Amino acid sequence: MSPIQDKTVGASLLAIGLFVFTYYSIWTLVIPFVDEGHAAHHLFPPQWYAIAIPVFLLVVGVTAVFGFLSFVMLKSGKKAAKKST
């Protein structure tokens, strides 16, 4: 990729990350103190999801990492067994 494309991709990822951080921060730190009838509550899901989504992503991520490590260890163990015989 050219440097211009790298900068564009980097700026896009930075903007997406900043948006997600801001949205999540407002959702978890500000919305609990806003009255229930306020229009801002319609912009955010229920508070339960503020915990459930990160926990789900963490479990999926840890499972993927350990699954990959298990795959690599099994594959390298088979190669070592072939070399020894």
Q: What is the mean pLDDT of residues 12-32?
A: 96
pLDDT tens sequence across 29-69: 999 999 999 999 999 999 999 999 999 999 999 999 999 99
C-alpha 1 chain-centroid distance = 25
73-to-36, 43, 59, 85 alpha-carbon distances in Å: 52, 46, 21, 19
Decide: helix, strand or coil at residue 31.
Answer: helix
* pTM > 0.85: yes or no: no
Vertex 52 angle, CA 48 and 53, to 5°: 115
